[in-house]
Amino acid sequence: MQQLIECVPNFSEGNDLGIIKQITGEIESVDSVKLLNVDPGKATNRTVVTFVGPPEAVLSAAFKAIKKAGELIDMRNHRGEHPRMGATDVCPLIPIANISMEDTAAYAIRLARQVGEQLGIPAYLYEEAQTRKERRNLSVIRAGEYESFFDKIKLPEWVPDFGPAEFDAKRGATVIGARDFLVAYNVNLNTTSVRRANAIAFDVREAGRTIKSGGKIITIPGSLKHVKGIGWYIEEYGFAQVSMNLTNIRETPLHVTFDEVCKKAEARGIRVTGSELVGLIPLDAMLEAGRYFLKKQMRSAGVSENELIDVAVKTLGLNELAPFEPKSRIIEYLLENEAEKKLSRMSLEDFADETASESPAPGGGSISAYIGSLGASLAAMVANLSSHKRGWDSRWEEFSGWAEKGQYFKQQLLNLVDKDTHAFNAIMKANSLPKSTPIEQETRSKAISLAVKGAIEVPISVMKYSLASMKVIKAMTELGSPSSVSDAGVAALCAKAAVQGAFLNVRINASALEDLDYKSKVIAEGGKMELDAIDIASEIDRIVMAKIDKSD
């Protein structure tokens, strides 16, 4: 699965749109990077830019933008309300999908080293990229701002992490680091009282509230870590909100924050009516919320991605103030390339028509993947039906777990429907390369070999996921609702067909390979999976027929 990092650089220019456009143009020039938001502020004379992409591409885009900002922005003439110390004042990297904070911090260190050494801009690390505790906080690093840094940078304790220990009058210095995704989140209250909204904010925010006790001022922390919050009244809406920044949604997720605000509001006689997300949110945060609220209802969480998001939106009340459109608010959806999911997004009729057309793709590989996804879908269906079966209430959690596994295999196999066709197209493209000279012939031969191996890896993955799904299918045959045992039987037939169909693709593609070691390896691997699938399918069939015969 693709790794994604978000980058949110802050540039010390908020008025000259021509300069801002040149900087963002550098970001947009990098393939695989998507510019999500550009937010210039005139009073602050500062622009916050948000873009997302794979780590290497994000690093390239960030470096190009920092370089361009240093060329175009002259800090000697900069005035603005926001604290700042450089043309690119701060540049945080945020892990979004399939990447750890540790790895993200390593990328931030790489970027800071590149900025310091190649551009000659003093670069400081902060947050998770900084190992020195006293220099982790951005406000501590930036204290004194641009005007004081000419002297500050010469102090032994403020030598930059990378780059010269001389302050650059034109470009200033920059702070680069790694931090968690920050979610701006407001919870709506059925009151107009700012004082009461503030009281709820103090109840939940990590900083809590300060009170006088015995002549001393003491702090009573709030109930939620990694949450900053205040209460305010929004005249446009006609009610008060608890406005929060969630700085670590892994440890304090959206749904936990919502429930806690509901609890504290109710204790004060106030009701939460809904909530509001400001900006973007990662997909996992919404899926986790959907699963959480379903499990609170003792219902199976093994439903589709769309259903999980719908449950989260309705329960959090995200539609109260304006329609919440997942396609424009969830980061991963904004990054999707529709062309990469052309087949899996088709209607059943269109998919059948496309398969039946004179085009060679989609072919047997894509069909095998799709059949496998149907088998996993049937297994998830049996699990979901069983979780709601009357008299089986105590077992809902067990079946929810099986349904979630079925949904996982379904999604992986659906993804492979399009990947198989892309792999076939890669072979066709390699075959079309010129072959007039010996060098061209060698290049073409290598490209074909690489493309063929890619076309083998996709059906191998289809075999692996389909075979793995048979564990769920077998469990549902044995444990699921007896009235759905035939559905489990059909699921097994689909999974077996997917394994065998994908193996045919492996074999025909491997037949053209000159790499005999690789060919032998994949044929042996595929052959074993095919035999395993046949054995498991036979066992499932015996169980299914025995249960059907018993019910006659």
Of the residues 78, 82, 388, 422, which is catalytic? 82
Residues of the chain with CATH 3.30.990.10: 4-178
Residues of the chain with CATH 3.30.70.670: 183-335
Query: How high is the pLDDT of residue 282?
Result: 87
Assess contact for 9 and 54: CB atoms under 8 A.
no
For all residues of the chain together, what is the average pLDDT? 92
Class of domain 4-178: alpha beta
Residue type, 279: G
Query: How high is the pLDDT of residue 408?
Result: 96
Residue 82 catalytic?
Answer: yes
Of the residues 89, 203, 284, 420, which is catalytic? 420
Residues of the chain with CATH 1.20.120.680: 338-551
Closest CA to 100 of 207, 229, 3, 185: 3
pLDDT in tens, 93-145: 999 889 999 999 999 999 999 999 999 999 999 999 999 989 998 888 989 99
Rg (the chain; Cα; Å): 28
Beta bridge partners of 39: 48
Q: Binning pLDDT at 50, 70 and 90, where does residue 552 land?
A: low
pLDDT in tens, 1-27: 689 999 999 999 999 999 999 999 999
Class of domain 338-551: mainly alpha
Query: How high is the pLDDT of residue 1?
Result: 66
pLDDT in tens, 291-346: 999 999 999 999 999 999 999 999 999 999 889 999 888 888 887 777 778 888 88
User: In the chain, what are the helix, strand and coil shares in percent, each to the nearest 5?
Assistant: 55, 15, 25
**H or E stretch at 125:** strand 123-127
DSSP assignment of 23-89: HHHHHHTSTT-EEEEEEEETTTTEEEEEEEE-HHHHHHHHHHHHHHHHHH--GGG---SS---BSEE
pLDDT in tens, 44-58: 788 889 899 999 999
DSSP assignment of 245-272: EES-TTTS-HHHHHHHHHHHHHHTT--E
Q: Binning pLDDT at 50, 70 and 90, where does residue 393 land?
A: confident
Place of tokens 């949904």: 407
The CATH code for residues 183-335 is: 3.30.70.670
Q: Binning pLDDT at 50, 70 and 90, where does residue 461 land?
A: very high
| Lowest-confidence segment of 150-164, 200-214, 335-349, 365-379 by average pLDDT | 335-349
Residue 388 catalytic?
Answer: no
- Whole-number Å distance between alpha carbons of 104 and 99: 7
